[in-house]
Amino acid sequence: MFTGLIEALGTVKATSSISGGRRLSISPGFDTKDVVTGESIAVNGVCLTVTGENPAGALSFDVSPETLKSTNLGELKPGQKVNIERAMKISSRFGGHIVSGHVDGIGTIESVEPAGEFTLYRISAPSDVLTVSIKKGSVTVDGISLTIVDLREADFTVAIIPHTAKETTMAFKRPGDRVNLEADMVGKYVARLMEPQVVDKNRAFMGLLQEEGFI
């Protein structure tokens, strides 16, 4: 479990193919002396397992074919920066919002506009993300916990403060770049709980139409 508060900017050191997937070697941007093989670390919002560490302190992650298909990790190249967050501790102060590290879809940055000291990013998103999102609600963009400023039928807008731009990859993002999106977990659970009621109402409505001879 994560919070969407980025701990460090990591750097991709190398990528290689492994049995249909990819192996990423990433310098995480923090002291790795207490990192253990098998622990979970979010890379651009994707929960990955540490599979090893080299003498230079770079961590290895194996990325499955499904994860490559569902996220932007397959686009990473050596030298690129990535957002890094270690799994939260129960004893830690809870910031951001509840983030699972399971990406719901890939969005595309449509525009980047300055707004005083802030920067507005308009991001197109798949319906799986938009239908469970609300204005002023939370969304995770490449692992960053952000608040939705505006929500439309096909996209949403977030405002990036100078601190977030400095401490994350958002400062490097340009129109056309693809980003990993995770919708608010609470919204997803509410939508799932409502599904049976929606289905039952639809069935009842269709039954009424049949009884009245409209279909």
Secondary structure (DSSP) of 140-189? EETTEEEEEEEE-SSEEEEEE-HHHHHHSGGGG--TT-EEEEEE-HHHHH
141 CB contacts (<8 Å, ≥6 apart)?
45, 107, 121, 123, 158, 170, 179, 180, 181
pLDDT over 70 (residue 32): yes
The whole-number pLDDT of residue 129 equals: 94
Residue 113 domain-assigned (yes or no) = yes
Range in 15-24, 43-52, 96-105, 186-195 with the lowest mean pLDDT: 186-195
Residue 195 domain-assigned (yes or no) = no
Same domain, 169 and 127: yes
Same domain, 115 and 183: yes
Backbone angles phi, psi at 61, to 5 degrees: -135, 135
Same domain, 74 and 147: no
The position carrying tokens 């197109």 is 124
Same domain, 79 and 155: no
Same domain, 114 and 182: yes
**What CATH number does residue 111 fall under?**
2.40.30.20
Q: What residues does 32 pair with on adjacent strands?
A: none
Same domain, 61 and 111: no
pLDDT over 80 (residue 163): yes
Please tell me the total count of domains within the chain. Answer: 2
Nearest to 132 by CA among 173, 69, 181, 92: 181
The position carrying tokens 């990325």 is 63
Same domain, 41 and 112: no
- Which H/E stretch holds residue 109? strand 105-115
The whole-number pLDDT of residue 199 equals: 46
Same domain, 21 and 66: yes
Residue range 138-149: mean pLDDT, rounded = 97
- Among 40-49, 51-60, 193-202, which range has the highest average pLDDT? 40-49
Same domain, 126 and 171: yes
Residue 28 domain-assigned (yes or no) = yes
Residue 97 domain-assigned (yes or no) = no
Same domain, 26 and 78: yes
Which of the listed residues 59, 86, 113 is the one where a domain comes to its end? 86
Q: How large a percentage of the chain has pLDDT more than 90? A: 74
Nearest to 41 by CA among 103, 85, 94, 104: 85
Q: Quote the domain boundaries for residue 66.
A: 8-86
Residue 41 domain-assigned (yes or no) = yes
Same domain, 82 and 109: no
- Which H/E stretch holds residue 70? helix 65-70
